[in-house]
Amino acid sequence: MDTDLDHIKPGSVVGPYRVVRGFKGRGGMARVVEVEVREKYRQPTLPPRLALKVAREEYQDALVAESDYLRRFDHPGVVRIYPLAGYHRPVYAARERFPFGWGWYYTMELLSRKSLKGHLTSTTAGLLRPSSDEGRPIGLLKTLGIGRQLTRALDHIHAYHVINLDIKPGNILLRQKRFQFLRSSVPQVVLCDFGVARDTRYPRSGLLGVATPAYVSPEQALELGKHHQHLDNRSDIFSLGIVLYEMLTGIMPFDNILQIVDPAYTPAPPGQIRRSIPPQMDDVVMKALAKHPLHRFQTAVDMQAALDQVPTPCDWEAIGKRTFAGVTLAACLAAGSWGAGNLQHLRAPTPTLGPTRTVTPSPLASSAPVPTPESTLLPTATPCEPTSTPAPTFTPTRTPRPMTPTFTPTPTPGED
C-alpha cells in the first residue's frame, strides 16, 4: 500500500478542487478523498462536492482505463464519473503535481460512507462486531432487493464488455435518497471500484489493486496463481453468489481459496443454515456458485429472472414506518388546528366583539339615508309657496291702480 498518498490532507489543492475531508477510502494503489469545486471553477452541471480518486504516475494506465470504463456507464446502480472542471471539452482524467510527486486523478459522485459491508459486520445496535468470522444476516427481503439491483447493474456493464472482477460488500455503497425509508426498507446500492475491471475484448494495461480472494471465482483464483484463464461475465455472477450467500446466512460459503478452486467441494445451501430461506432462493444461490461456468447463470439477466421468481416477503418495516409517519402527521395537524382554534378563541374578545357591534348598527345607518328621498319630496311641495312669493314683486305694478282718484275730477267739468 502506497503511504505517500497519505500526504494529501484537508485543505490541499488538486487542480480545480480543494480537499475538504480526509480519506473516504483506501485502495491498493489509489486513494479516494472528498473534495469541493473551487469557486471560480464551479459549473451548474457539476455538483459542488465530489469524490476524487488519485494514484501515482506509474499507475497512470490503470487509472485512465478505469475512468474510461466509468465514462461508458449511465446507470443508477453504477457509480457516476464527472468531467473535470476547468476544461472546455470533457476531460475525465488529468495529471497533477502532488506533495508526493506527479499523479493522476479523476472525480466521481460523492456517495455515502455506508456500505453493504457495514450491514453485514454490525450488530443490531449498530456496533461493529469484534470478529469478522460471522456477520449479521440482513434477511430475505433486503437480499432479494439488493440482488435484483446488482444484477441490473451487472447487465449494464456487461453490455459494454466490461467485467468488474471485484464484487464484494465493501465495494457496494449505499445511495441516500430523501424519504427512501418510506418507500422501501431495501437501500439503493451502487457498484463502485473498477480498479481491477477489464474489457473482455482487450487485455488490461494495468491494475489499481488486486481482487479480494474470498470473493473470486474459481477461474479468477487460478489466474491469481499465474495460470492464464479467460474470464467473462460469469465470473461476476459467481462473486455475486458469494455476496448473496453471506447476506442470507451471515457466513461465507468458502473458508479459503482452496475450497473455491476445489471442484469436489460444495457449500451447504443457505436453507440448511436458516430454515426461513425458501427453496427457490437456495436454487438461485447454489446455481450462481457452480464451480464450472457452464453450470452457472450465463447472463445477469438470467439471474435476475430467477430472483424475480422468488416470493418477495411483505415489507412490514416500510409499512410500519409509513403508518407511523402518517399517524404522526395527522397528530401534528390535529394539534396544530386545535392550537390555532384555542389561540383564536383567546384573541376573539378583543378584536372580534368590537367589530361585530359596530357592524350591526352600520346597516341601520345605511337604512337611514333611504327615507331621505321622501324628505326631498316634501320640499317639492314647499316651493309652491316660494313661487307665490314672487307675486309681491308684481304688486308694485298694481299699486298705481289706487291712483284712479286722479280720474274722478273729470266729471266736474261736465257739470260746468
Cβ atoms of 148 and 308 within 8 Å: the answer is yes
**Every domain of the chain and the residues it spans:** 10-110, 112-125+132-317
Cβ atoms of 119 and 133 within 8 Å: the answer is no
Run of H or E including 374: helix 372-381
Cβ atoms of 224 and 213 within 8 Å: the answer is yes
pLDDT score recorded for residue 406: 47
CA distance 155 to 151: 6
Q: Which of left, alpha, beta for 41 (phi over 0: left; psi -120 to 50: alpha)?
A: alpha
pLDDT score recorded for residue 167: 97
* 3-class state of residue 231 by DSSP: coil
Right CATH for 112-125+132-317 from 3.30.565.10, 3.40.50.10260, 1.10.510.10, 1.10.4190.10:
1.10.510.10
User: Is 10-110 a CATH 3.30.200.20 domain?
Assistant: yes
Phi, psi torsion values for 415, nearest 5 degrees:
-65, -35
Give me the average pLDDT of each 10-residue run along the chain (416 residues): 68 92 67 92 91 91 93 96 92 89 93 86 48 70 95 98 95 75 74 92 75 93 74 97 96 95 95 94 98 97 97 61 60 70 62 52 48 47 45 46 48 46
Q: Could you tell me what percentage of the chain is helix, strand and coil, using 3-state DSSP and rounding each to the nearest 5?
A: 50, 15, 40
The angle formed by the CA atoms of residues 105, 163 and 51, to the nearest 5 degrees, is 25
Q: What is the pTM of this model?
A: 0.72
Which tens digit of pLDDT belongs to each residue from 61-74?
Answer: 899 999 999 999 99
CA distance 111 to 106: 15
The angle formed by the CA atoms of residues 147, 212 and 2, to the nearest 5 degrees, is 130
CA distance 38 to 123: 40
pLDDT score recorded for residue 289: 98
pLDDT score recorded for residue 366: 46
Run of H or E including 391: helix 391-398
Domains 10-110 and 112-125+132-317 share a fold: no
